[in-house]
Amino acid sequence: MKNISEKHFMACLLLAVFFGSYLPSCQKNFKDTAPAITNNSSKQLSDADSLKYLMYRIMQVSYVNGGRDSSNNLPTYYWYNQVPKLDPLSSAYDSADMLLGNMKNYAINQATGNPYDKYSFLDHGEVAGEIQQGVAGDLGMEISYAKDQANNYFLYVLSTDKNSPAGLVGVNRGWQITAINGNNNVGYDGGSGPNVTRVINAVYKDAQASFTFKKPDGTLVTQSLSKAVYQINPILFDSVYNVSGKNVGYFVFNTFSSVTNNNAPTITKQELDRVFSKFQSAGISSLIVDLRYNHGGSVATAEYLDGLIAPASVKGKVMYNYLYNDRLTANLRQAGLQDKVLFSGGGNLQLNHVFFIGRSGTASASELTLNNLKPYMDVKLVGDTTYGKPVGFFSFHITDFDAAGNEKSLADLYAINFETRNANNQGGYFNGLIPDALASDYINVPWGNTADDHLVKIFKYISTGAYARVSSSERMAKDPSLRLSVPSTIPSLRFNGMVDYRISNQIKEAAKRKMK
C-alpha cells in the first residue's frame, strides 16, 4: 500500500464520503486506501451487501473513509445511541432499505409511542437534482382526491410548476381529472386500489399519459403529457391585495430548491428577489407565505427567505441552533460542523404581521422558516397542523470499489443528522406545529382567489384582529361546488425533508485547505 500523510489522507476521506468525488490529486491515493469491501473469507461483497455495511457504519460507527475506519468514533446518526449493535450483513436484512427501516424503529417518541424517525431514506440522485440543482424530470403536476358535502370523491390537480410539461400547456390548480388514457375509472378505491394505482402510475411513474381535464368553467380538454426535464420554479402564484386600506403581499412557495448552484443564482433566488421587490414597491404591511404543499428542501434557502422577511434589526442575531449527537457535538471542529446560524441581515419590508399557510404536507424547511422568525416577529400559522420535522440531513454519497480499484456509486444516504431550535430554544415539534386558526383547503378554489378559506380568515384578522369563524360544513352547505382536499389519498413523491448542503461545502473547503 502506498504511504500518504495523515493530513492528505483525512482531506481525501472527507471529500470522498461527503461528495462521492475528490480532487485528482486524491484519487489514486484514496483508491489505494479504500479497497473493495470483503467478508471474513476475503470474498468481495456484492454491491447490495457493501451498501448495507457502509450505510450502517456511517450511521453507527464513523463516517471516516466511507464507513471503513473504526479508529474515529464519529457516528453520524442523530439517534445512534438508541440503536443496538446490529450485524449489517445478517441474512435478516434483504437490502439496505430493510436494514435502515429496522434501525429507524428504535428511537421512540414517548409522547406518541411511535418512532421519531419516519424520515431517513436512501436515494439514487433524484434529491440532489431536485433540491441542489433545482431540476425535476416529471410531468410537474401534483394531484389529490377531494370530496363534496356528501363525501363523494373527485380527482383534482393540486398544483403545477409553470416550467413543467403540465404547466406549459396551461394545466392549473383546481382542474378536475375525469379520465386517464381514455379510462374514466379514476374514482377513489383505497390506497392500493386499481383506480388509485393507475392514477399514481400515470402521473408519477409512466413516461407519457393522456389526461382529460374538466376546467373550472366546465369545459373539457384532453392533453397528452410526457415527462421532461425542466428547471423548477417554486413560486406558483403571487399578488398584492388591499385589505381595509392596507397592502398585503401573498405568494405560494412550493419547494425550497437551492438559491445557488455552483455559486450562480438559480431561478429560485431570482423569483424570490422579484416577488420581494414587488412587495417592497407596494409598501406591504403584512405578508402571507403559502406553504401548504411545501415539503421542504435546502436549509440555505430557508435562511435566505427568513432574511428577506425579517426586519433589519436582526442582523448578527441567532437565526437558529444546531443539535447533533453527543459524539459529533464533542468534535464539532474535527467534523467541520457549526452550532448556530446568524442572520447576515434583514429585509426591507416594514411588516406588522407575517402569516404562514400550512397543512399536513408542510414540512421541515417550511417549518424551520416559520420557527426561526418567532423570536423576532408576530408570526401566525393558519390552516392545519403541519407535518412535524424539526430534524434534517447531510447527504452521504456511498461508493465502493471493485477488485480493479474502479469506483462504483451505490446510493445517497439521508439519515437524520441534526435537529434545529430557534433563538429562544423553541423546537421539538415532532408532532407538528399547531395553527393559530384552522382553515379548510378547497382544492377547486384557484390560487389567490379571495374565496380561499385561508385568505378569508387572514384578511378578517388584518381588518379586525380576529379570525373569521366559518366552518367547512357551513361553507360547503352554502356553496355545494366546493371540494375539500383529502391529502392522505395520494402520497406525494416529492422529497420531504431539509438538507444542509452548505455545511457539506464547508467541510469540502476545509479539506482542500488541509491539502495545501
**C-alpha grid cell, residue 479:** 356553496
pLDDT at position 39: 63
Q: How do residues 404-452 score in pLDDT, each as one tens digit? A: 888 899 999 999 999 999 999 999 999 999 999 999 999 999 999 999 9
Question: What is residue 36's predicted lDDT score, i.e. its pLDDT?
Answer: 59
Q: Helix 6-19 vs helix 24-33: angle between axes, to the nearest 10 degrees?
A: 90
pLDDT along the chain (516 residues), means of 10: 34 37 34 54 82 96 81 90 97 97 97 95 89 92 96 97 97 98 96 95 96 96 97 97 98 96 93 98 98 96 98 97 96 87 95 97 97 98 97 92 88 96 98 97 96 97 93 91 94 86 61 38
DSSP code, position 149? T
Q: DSSP states of 382-441 as a string?
A: EES------EEB--EEEEEE-TT--EEEEEEEE---EEEEETT--B--TT-PPPSEE---
Q: Residue 158's closest CA among 179, 182, 142, 134?
A: 142
Other beta carbons less than 10 A from residue 386's beta carbon:
27
Arithmetic mean of pLDDT over the chain: 89
Query: How many CB atoms neighbour CB 330 within 10 A?
Result: 12
Q: What is the pLDDT of residue 135?
A: 92
* Structure-block grid coordinates of residue 122: 436512501
CA–CA separation, 497 vs 24, rounded Å? 33
Which residues have a Cβ under 8 Å from the Cβ of 94 and sit 6 or more positions away?
none
Question: What is the C-alpha to C-alpha distance for residues 501 and 221, in angstroms, rounded to an integer?
Answer: 42
Cβ-Cβ contacts under 8 Å for 379 (sequence gap 6 or more): 354, 356, 370, 373
- Residue 336 is predicted with a pLDDT of 80
pLDDT tens digits for range 204-256: 999 999 999 999 999 999 999 999 999 999 999 999 999 999 999 999 999 99
For residue 232, the model assigns a pLDDT of 96
